[in-house]
């Protein structure tokens, strides 16, 4: 039997009933880990000697999982997939890791990612390109690329990710799994390497909505080490899932979903939007009220620029401590300045350097008003537009991206001015700190595509319950990339 095909609930029950052992799970995960690493390069660091843990009443106990390389893990290499931290072994665990340790969950490996989370392709990890297990000529998206690949391949039922713009939710869509970014502050960011602090959110990638709820129930909580956390002790995600959608109202944005807005649409984009349209019609038939709404297209067209300005500015500030002096490999040079220059020049990829240049430029005193502060103002306008929608609707439902996973060799597939809003609208969830979940909703050219559900702050239980209902109407729950081939 292949245990990796089971949900967390099913695995826990089998462990309790002694139908399987923790050692069985670790052994199978290790075998799959090796195969996937050879195929897709999904891992930044593999732990050789993984020890079993006691099975308790907690559903995560005794079950292996993966940790994105930008989480601090005590005594375990934590590089952020960057050569600037290629030998960094922390002396403390991130709060989210501590919470999972209390649940007796078992860390199997550190998953590879775009360097420090600053990328959407999975091509800038220090260990090389991360490939999609559905089709190795295509991307996983990023930055939680390795986590998405590992869960999609069935190495374990869940892996941790972080989401600054769409870094959990788009890889989930490209890999045919579930990606959940909770409300900002539900999970402590203490011990997560900071990229853009006002946008960064810890979350999880799984193969079902219920599994996502189980994991985040165990990760979340108030933390004195993170002043942005809130008390979520009255929020019980798993227990709140019942599939009841009575009186729930959803909307989708015409300017994002209407094929007429994309005159040069590819066949994959046409099929993706047609699939989304069919899903909407099917959900309406099943009793879910879904309206089409309009949002100012000029405002929507600013999303990507606002994200680039704010995220690069915050990253430049956050990563000024990566000097090779405090930690990381020391740079060469006779002076401290020369050593820092050598460390940062050789350690960072070209993409990271470009982002630092943008961040430094927009933060210069003479440029702040025009770029940084204006981006902050427009961010507020975008957030207010979504909050207006949430006054009437429980959630906004939208397609993820402009189709299935993009091919590596095709630059035009990565960025297109015409489809920018389709590719970047998930960033709105980070602008407002909204709970947001992506689930698989079909296939285009035998590759998975996904849809996203985003709701108002602190309404995670409602968002997940809607996602659970939608998931139940389709045949893509708990899918595995190898099973479907």
Q: Out of 144, 145, 162, 167, which one is annotated catalytic?
A: 167
| Contact (CB, 8 A) for 50 and 93 | no
Question: How many of the other CB atoms lie within 10 Å of CB of 39?
Answer: 14
Q: Is the dihedral of CA 320, 325, 326, 328 positive or negative?
A: positive
Q: How many angstroms separate the CA atoms of 37 and 453, rounded?
A: 31
| Contact (CB, 8 A) for 14 and 61 | no
Question: How many of the other CB atoms lie within 10 Å of CB of 81?
Answer: 33
Listed in sequence order, the residues at least 6 apart from 223 whose beta carbon sits closer than 8 Å to its beta carbon are 95, 188, 190, 229
Strand partners of residue 68: 111
Q: Please confirm, yes or no, whether 294 is among the known catalytic residues.
A: no
Q: How much of the chain is helix, strand and coil, in % rounded to 5? A: 45, 15, 40
Q: Please confirm, yes or no, whether 68 is among the known catalytic residues.
A: yes
Tokens encoding 233: 């002790």
Q: Out of 68, 110, 181, 406, which one is annotated catalytic?
A: 68
Q: Out of 29, 61, 81, 143, which one is annotated catalytic?
A: 143
In terms of residues, how long is the chain?
485
Question: How many of the other CB atoms lie within 10 Å of CB of 225?
Answer: 12
Q: How many angstroms separate the CA atoms of 209 and 241, rounded?
A: 9
Locate all alpha helices (DSSP H) within 319-373, ordered by sequence.
336-347, 350-363, 365-367
Q: How many angstroms separate the CA atoms of 439 and 428, rounded?
A: 17
Q: Please confirm, yes or no, whether 143 is among the known catalytic residues.
A: yes
Q: Which residues are catalytic?
A: 68, 143, 167
């Amino acid at each position: 039997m292949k245990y990796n095909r089971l949900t967390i609930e099913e695995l826990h029950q089998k462990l309790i009933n002694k139908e399987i052992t923790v050692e069985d799970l670790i052994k199978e995960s290790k075998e799959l880990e090796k195969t996937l690493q050879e195929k897709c390069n999904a891992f930044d660091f593999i732990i050789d000697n993984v020890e079993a843990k006691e099975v308790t009443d907690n559903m995560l106990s005794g079950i292996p999982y993966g940790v994105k390389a930008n989480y601090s893990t005590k005594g375990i290499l934590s590089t952020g997939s960057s050569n600037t931290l290629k030998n960094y072994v922390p002396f403390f665990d991130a709060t989210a890791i501590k919470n999972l340790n209390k649940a007796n969950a078992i860390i199997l490996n550190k998953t590879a990612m775009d360097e420090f989370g600053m990328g959407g392709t999975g091509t800038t990890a220090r260990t090389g390109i991360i490939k999609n297990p559905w089709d190795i000529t295509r991307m996983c998206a990023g930055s939680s690329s390795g986590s998405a690949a590992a869960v999609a391949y069935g190495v374990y039922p869940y892996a941790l990710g972080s989401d600054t713009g769409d870094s959990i939710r788009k890889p989930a869509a490209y890999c045919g799994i579930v990606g959940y970014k909770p409300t900002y502050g539900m999970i402590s960011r203490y011990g997560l390497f900071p990229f853009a602090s006002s946008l960064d959110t810890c979350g999880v990638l799984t193969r079902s909505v219920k599994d996502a709820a189980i994991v985040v129930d165990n990760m979340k909580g108030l933390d004195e080490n993170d002043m942005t956390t809130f008390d979520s002790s009255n929020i019980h995600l798993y227990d709140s899932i019942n599939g009841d959608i009575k009186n729930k109202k959803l909307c989708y944005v015409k300017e994002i979903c209407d094929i007429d807005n994309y005159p040069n649409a590819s066949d994959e984009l046409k099929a993706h939007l047609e699939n989304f349209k069919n899903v909407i019609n099917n959900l309406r038939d099943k009793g879910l009220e879904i309206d089409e709404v309009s949002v100012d297209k000029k405002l929507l067209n600013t999303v990507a620029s606002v994200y680039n300005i704010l995220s690069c500015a915050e990253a430049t500030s956050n990563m000024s401590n990566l000097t090779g002096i405090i930690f990381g490999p020391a740079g060469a040079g006779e002076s401290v300045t020369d050593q820092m220059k050598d460390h940062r020049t050789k350690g960072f990829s070209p993409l990271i350097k470009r982002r630092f240049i943008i961040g430094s430029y927009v933060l210069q005193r003479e440029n702040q008003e025009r770029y940084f502060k204006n981006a902050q103002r427009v961010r507020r306008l975008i957030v207010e537009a979504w909050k207006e929608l949430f006054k009437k609707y429980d959630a906004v439902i939208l397609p993820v991206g402009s189709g299935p996973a993009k091919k590596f060799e095709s630059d035009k597939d990565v960025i297109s001015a015409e489809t920018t809003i389709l590719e970047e609208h998930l960033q709105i969830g980070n602008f407002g700190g909204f709970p947001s979940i992506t689930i698989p909703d079909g296939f285009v050219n035998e590759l998975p595509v996904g849809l996203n559900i985003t709701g108002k702050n602190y309404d995670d239980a409602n968002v997940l319950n809607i996602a659970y209902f939608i998931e139940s109407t389709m045949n893509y729950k708990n899918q595995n990339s190898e099973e479907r081939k």
